[in-house]
Structure 1
């Protein structure tokens, strides 16, 4: 029987076929999905911030791109995934609010996407698809059987990556 594994904000987890893995509430946060098509194992991290330098002592690894992605890779390998097969899909990274200033600090969504891509590149994991940016929230769900990422947005229906 298929179950859906829910990943909360600043959290990460792994799912094996035939299960699905989902996260909701992606605004400026980025949903990073890493998938091993040969073993049908998927990992999902709900990344809130680009780097742990913003942590102020917070030790939640899943919250930051620079710690969540390495932790997710480790967890997937521990579940039997083959690292040489990894491919990534990204969703989220929206600019949810308009600001008068064009300050870098306020561009959290864009900076989250950049940080996630940088980490994936560091581990030689190709980004095969993405649905990032905009000014709307997303819910994503990956089907481990076929690797399809379903992206739901209010008033925009469902998109498949």
Structure 2
């Protein structure tokens, strides 16, 4: 993870990147995954995490990739932003994604990955008392997510 100040910063699946304005943070393939941007407008710094799964504790092994899970990814994102000079009380968030990509006859909770990802991200942001300024959930399709300064775009 590097701090980038120019151009387009691509964030892969189960990845996180930081950037300062005027850089553009971009991720693609947000089906059931959630893209979450946490930013400090005054200090012009933002981080984007592309989260795959809601909870790292569901696995019997410790996570090898902290950016894969909502609980550990948000922790890393906030910690890294603060280390780079962001102020905790100035942090805000925007998120997109969380689609139900497949139709199942069963209403099994475990199969609702998209919903569970969104719920886990929101819960973790609330734990840090970070206000959510935009929540764009997709219903059935994937989405691309861009963050430019304080604007979030998706398509």
Shorter-chain TM-score above 0.5: yes
- 1:105 matches 2:110: yes
Q: Tell me the distance in 2 between the aligned counterparts of 1:92 and 1:36.
A: 22
- Give TM-score scaled by structure 1 length: 0.89
Tell me which stretches of 4 or more aligned residues in structure 1 moved more than 6 Å. none
CA RMSD of aligned residues (A): 1.2
Alignment match, 2:76:
71
- 1:130 matches 2:135: yes
> After superposition, where does 1:1-161 map in structure 2 within 5 Å?
2-57=6-61, 58-144=63-149, 147-152=150-155
| 1:79 Cα deviation after fit | 1.7
Q: Classify the secondary structure of the residue corresponding to 1:109.
A: helix
In the TM superposition, what whole-angstrom CA distance separates every residue of 1:13-56 from its partner, at most 9, and x where no partner exists? 11101111111100000001111111111111101001102344
Identify unmatched segments of 5+ residues in structure 2: none
| 1:75 Cα deviation after fit | 1.1
Q: Tell me the distance in 1 between the aligned counterparts of 2:59 and 2:34.
A: 17
The number of residue pairs the alignment matches comes to 150
Q: Are the equivalent residues in 2 in contact too, given 1:109–1:133 (CA < 8 A)?
A: no
Identify unmatched segments of 5+ residues in structure 1: 153-161
